[in-house]
């Protein structure tokens, strides 16, 4: 790997995979530097994308819902579903889940969990499809590998994109899907270069720089 060089997305994926030498299946993560100022509300990039090949790990989904929607959630594959009983359980410190969905009518109560779920990035949000009456669709997407992303104060988006064991083709497709979804969210008020830098790394490996122009050219060709 050459210092300072920006690789094509495929080359970067191959290099990142080659550095994954741990005894466990390392997670591949992407860091994307954007030309936005998150201090401005209209430049707060936030969204979600269903990765074509998922994340390579099971995702435990908790749904806050009542009645028919609770049954719908469980039938769709939710690991946990309920209302007040589950809210009290979370308040007491139970956190055996990875993602949270809530129906709109539950948000008045779920909002009380803001200080618990918020800092962990688990608070349901309509902007990413986790506050919805379509609990079946939400659960199925999360189970299939839907990831949420949000730009940090420094203008960087961090997101997992799968496992090193996925191989070059699947990881490349996941990376492209993530970048494409972020490009679609470019705010009109963002001036200059929007997609400034992209870095891919595995859990124990170094960051490999991806050429943003290569990614853009591939996505334009699709």
Written out in words, the top-level CATH class of the domain with range 63-144 is alpha beta
Position 222 pLDDT exceeds 70: no
pLDDT single digits (tens) 102-143: 999 999 999 999 999 999 889 999 988 999 999 999 999 999
Q: What is the CATH number of domain 9-55+146-221?
A: 3.30.190.20
Residue with tokens 């908790």: 62
CA 183/CA 102 separation, integer angstroms: 28
pLDDT single digits (tens) 166-181: 999 999 999 999 999 9
Q: What pLDDT shows up at residue 115?
A: 94
pTM of the model: 0.82
Domain locations in the chain as residue ranges: 9-55+146-221, 63-144
Euclidean distance between the first and the last CA atom of the chain, given in angstroms as a whole number: 28
Which residues, 6 or more positions from 141, have their beta carbon under 8 angstroms from its beta carbon?
50, 129
Residue in 133, 157, 115, 137 with CA at minimum distance from that of residue 66: 133
pLDDT single digits (tens) 151-209: 998 999 999 999 999 999 999 999 999 999 999 999 988 888 999 999 999 999 999 99
Beta bridge pairs of residue 63: 81, 101
């Amino acid at each position: 790997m050459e210092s300072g060089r920006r690789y094509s997305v495929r080359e970067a994926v191959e290099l990142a995979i080659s550095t994954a030498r741990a005894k466990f299946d390392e997670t591949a993560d992407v860091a994307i530097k954007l030309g936005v100022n998150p201090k401005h509300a209209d430049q707060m990039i936030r969204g979600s994308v269903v990765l074509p090949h998922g994340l390579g790990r099971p995702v435990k989904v908790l749904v806050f819902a009542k009645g028919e929607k609770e049954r719908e959630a469980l039938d769709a594959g939710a690991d946990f579903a309920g209302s007040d009983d589950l809210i009290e359980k979370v308040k007491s410190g139970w956190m055996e889940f990875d993602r949270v969905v809530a129906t709109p009518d539950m948000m008045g109560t779920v909002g009380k969990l803001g200080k618990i779920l918020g800092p962990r990035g688990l608070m349901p949000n309509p902007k990413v499809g986790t506050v919805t009456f379509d609990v079946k669709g939400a659960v199925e997407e999360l189970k299939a590998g839907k990831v949420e992303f949000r730009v940090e104060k420094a203008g960087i988006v961090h997101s997992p994109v799968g496992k090193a064991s996925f191989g070059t083709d699947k990881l490349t497709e996941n990376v492209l899907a993530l970048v494409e979804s972020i490009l679609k969210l470019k705010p009109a008020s963002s001036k200059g270069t929007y997609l400034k830098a992209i870095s891919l790394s595995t859990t124990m490996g170094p960051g490999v720089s991806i050429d943003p122009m290569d990614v853009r050219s591939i996505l334009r060709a699709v």
